[in-house]
């Protein structure tokens, strides 16, 4: 039972963080209907900066294509990262992300993202990776966010082994 719980801990914690915004984890975009109905909060401009890191296990070059953009809550935005595999062999990577300040994570919603999905890059291949997001309009109404005018979206890529699967929790 304890072994099963230890394997389940990471995915369950990730789900908890996504649901609550804990640890800078962002939300998932929501319905197209909700996004279409959002009213931008024009008097609240937020600077979003981008960070890119790679774990020592992967030899990719990974960077944001823009250092920052300005957005308002309730308005969608598109940013791009670039990844290149400079090696002579195919490499599979997987990324994680977070938002700083952590408390803003619950308002930062990704509509489309490359995170938590395996990305295979062939030798010398270079790709653009989009992040389509918005900041929930409720951000502007939260007193804890009153002095927040800078949010950093940070991604880290790790190497994933082809065919490697995490064991499913439970009894087998």
> Which of 86, 89, 95, 97 is CA-nearest to residue 59?
86
- Mean pLDDT for the stretch of residues 81-100: 94
| Confidence bin at 12 (pLDDT 50/70/90) | low
Q: Residue 49 is encoded by which pair of tokens?
A: 């900066």
Burial 6-34 (b: 16+ CB within 10 A, else e): eeeeeeeeeeebbeebeebbbbebeeeee
Q: How far apart are CA 139 and CA 130, in angstroms?
A: 23
Distances from the Cα of 13 to the Cαs of 23, 26, 85, 89, 163, in angstroms? 10, 13, 30, 33, 23
Give pTM, 2 decimals. Answer: 0.74
Adjacent-strand bridge partners of 15? none
Does residue 5 carry a pLDDT above 80?
Answer: no
Q: What integer pLDDT is reported at residue 24 of this predicted model? A: 44
Higher-pLDDT residue of 61 and 25 is 61
Q: How far apart are CA 93 and CA 159, in angstroms?
A: 4
Q: What integer pLDDT is reported at residue 37 of this predicted model? A: 84
> Which of 93, 70, 67 is CA-nearest to residue 80?
67
Q: What integer pLDDT is reported at residue 136 of this predicted model? A: 95
Higher-pLDDT residue of 163 and 95 is 95
Spacing of C-alpha 142 from chain mean position: 22
All domains of the chain in start order, with CATH: 37-159 (2.60.370.10)
Adjacent-strand bridge partners of 71? 46
| Confidence bin at 52 (pLDDT 50/70/90) | very high
């Amino acid at each position: 039972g304890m072994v099963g719980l230890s394997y389940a801990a990471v995915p369950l914690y990730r789900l908890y963080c996504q649901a609550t915004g804990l640890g800078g984890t962002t939300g998932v975009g929501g319905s197209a209907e909700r996004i279409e109905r959002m009213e931008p909060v024009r008097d609240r401009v937020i600077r979003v900066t981008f960070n890119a890191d790679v774990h020592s296990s992967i030899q990719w070059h990974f960077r944001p294509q823009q250092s920052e953009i300005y957005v308002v809550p309730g308005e969608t935005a598109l940013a791009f990262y670039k990844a290149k595999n400079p090696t002579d062999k195919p490499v599979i990577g997987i990324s994680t992300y977070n938002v700083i300040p952590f408390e803003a994570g619950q308002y930062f919603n990704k509509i489309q993202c490359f995170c938590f999905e395996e990305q295979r890059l062939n030798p010398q291949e270079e790709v653009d990776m989009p992040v389509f997001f918005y900041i929930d309009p409720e951000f502007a109404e939260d007193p804890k966010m009153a002095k927040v005018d800078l949010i950093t979206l940070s991604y880290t890529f790790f190497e994933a082994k082809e065919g490697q699967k995490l064991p499913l929790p439970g009894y087998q």
